[in-house]
Amino acid sequence: MTKTLDLNDEELDQLLSKLHRVTDEVGQVIVGQRVVMEQLLVSMLAGGHCLLQGVPGLAKTLMVSSLAQAVDLTFKRVQFTPDLMPSDIIGTEVLETDHDSGERFFKFQKGPVFTQILLADEINRTPPKTQAALLEAMQERQVSYAGELYPLPAPFFVLATQNPIEQSGTYPLPEAQLDRFLMFVEVSYPTEAEELEIVRRTTGSHTVSLSAQLSAVELRQLQTVVRDVEVSEPLLSYATRLTRQTRPQESTVDAITQYVKWGAGPRCAQALVLCAKAHALLHKRFAVTLDDITAVAPAVLRHRLMLNFQAEAQQVSIIEVIENVLNEVAKPSSPLLS
């Protein structure tokens, strides 16, 4: 592995150990959901944003706020509502007076987006105009206002949630916004044993105080290491083929040509490789395997494909389509790749 950071093996191993302690720390509050936590960490290591979808009551908000504490990042939460305005997110100019000269001037008052983790709670409850206020922040890590550019803190993540069962009063995210999320993570119901433990923990008097296991500086170091994780040419080619095979106009996969209206763009292949690198590093490996790509593929592809009317009429799910793609696209044959 080519190293761009001046870290020896022992220092790197300590960083990775701290990363795993983050999961254990959050586990003091969140019961189960280990797969979701892993996907959140993959997204953060890859430097991308994450969209969480799940029914109410699955502790999505608590999970994000607990993660912010365990990684020692500044955290702000915005409850998205139909009357939320763009200025409620990015900020606005306020008129102030210089007490010495009496001169009046406008000063930019930063909004909640100026943080390291922004929880956009129920992001699909606000109109497209307000949703669009996040586009520049998510892509460029900056805010433009009145001709001035204001950089956002680093690292910067948008972790958004949405409820899949309520459609009244919601505004589906446009494709351009969805594509800016590195991963789309489904939060499922807990098992019976996990639910019992949740009830036991939350109905007593015991409280948990989380402590930071990883600093913002250390997280940025790990993000740099992710870029150094090796990926072979056959696996790069495989990630690119997966992406191209999701496009109906050039796909040889029946499920794509029958049920998909729009396929994924080039940003999807980039996301597959970056997330696979982060997944490998999370498991203390410094070279991507085929299993790393297939592990992250559903969360990377899920929000980048648009199903057509035929899929809706036949109740074909996006996950079924993705499974077909993963099964039918030719995989690298070398045993060293899996």
Mean pLDDT of the chain: 86
Decide if 109 contacts 93 (C-beta within 8 A).
yes
43 pLDDT exceeds 90? Answer: yes
Total count of domains within the chain: 2
pLDDT score recorded for residue 169 = 62
Rounded to whole angstroms, the Cα distance separating 74 from 215 reads 11
Range of the domain at 24: 1-224
Please indicate, yes or no, whether residues 151 and 114 belong to a single structural domain of this protein: yes
Residue with the two structure tokens 């389509």: 321
User: What's the mean pLDDT in 217-242?
Assistant: 92
The last residue of a domain, from among 181, 199, 224: 224
For residue 9, pLDDT beyond 90: no
Please check whether residue 338 lies inside any domain of the structure: no
159 in any annotated domain: yes
Q: What percent of the chain has pLDDT over 70?
A: 95
**pLDDT tier, 213 (very low <50, low <70, confident <90, very high otherwise):** confident
153 with 254, same domain: the answer is no
* Residues 149 and 239 reside in one and the same domain: no
For residue 292, give the CATH number of its domain. 1.10.8.80
Q: Are residues 14 and 59 in the same domain?
A: yes
211 with 234, same domain: the answer is no
The residue-averaged pLDDT of 196-207 equals 83
Q: Which of 224, 248, 264 is the last residue of a domain?
A: 224
Query: Are 304 and 186 in a shared domain?
Result: no
Among the candidates 200, 224, 248, a domain finishes at: 224
pTM > 0.85: yes or no: yes
Per-residue pLDDT at 245 exceeds 70: yes
Q: Is the pLDDT of residue 68 over 70?
A: yes
Same domain, 131 and 242: no
More confident residue, 251 or 277: 277
Is residue 281 scored above 90 in pLDDT? Answer: yes
Q: Are residues 255 and 180 part of one domain?
A: no
